[in-house]
Amino acid sequence: MRPARAFYFLYYAALAALMTYLAFHLAPAMPLLDHAVLEALGDRAHPYGRQRVWGALGWAATAPLAGWATSHFGLSWSFFLFLAVMPWVALVALRIPYVAASGKQPIGGGLALVLRDTRWIPLLLAGFAGASGSRSSLTSCRSTCATSAPITG
């Protein structure tokens, strides 16, 4: 293997490992946050939608700004911004009150409960089909990009 190819292979492997680590730790963030908000609301859980809409509005306000900044300053600035913002997000997340679940349930118990209710099957199949399609698109793009732009060095 030529040195340039070895470098890109190692770079890609390290990036894939870091992204896997990040995805593994960020995947439960939203369900845990939703649970914490519902627990904090307690008997007043009916205004949950009003609480949750602020997250959607915040995203709607910042997404166009992030797109504009990326088009004007390049993609690399977003990585530095991520490194600057994530410690603050972690501090806020650590201050969210956590209430332990009242009962223990085995890991597969929730899945079995969902699969017994046939109304969930179309949603699960649609999600699986969408995820499979996006994965094949990424694989197709990766193989196309790899063959159309050979690495020299």
How many of the other CB atoms lie within 10 Å of CB of 153? Answer: 9
Tens of pLDDT along 101-141? Answer: 666 666 666 777 777 888 878 887 887 777 666 554 444 44
The answer to which of 10-14, 20-24, 139-143 has the lowest mean pLDDT is 139-143
Task: Give CA–CA dist 116/108, Å, rounded.
Answer: 12
Specify the pTM: 0.42
Q: What is the dihedral of CA 141, 142, 143, 145, to 10 degrees?
A: 80
In the prediction, which pLDDT does 124 show?
Answer: 77
3 state SS of 45 = coil
Domain segments of the chain: what residues?
A: 30-103, 105-153
3 state SS of 20 = helix
In the prediction, which pLDDT does 134 show?
Answer: 52
Query: Dihedral of CA 26/112/121/139: which sign?
Result: positive
Tens of pLDDT along 30-83? Answer: 787 777 777 777 788 777 887 778 888 988 998 898 888 888 888 888 888 888
Show contacts of 32-37: CB within 8 Å, 24+ apart: 33/93, 33/96, 36/96, 36/97, 36/98, 36/99
DSSP secondary structure of 72-118: HH-THHHHHHHHHHHHHHHHHHHTS-----SS---HHHHHHHHHHSG
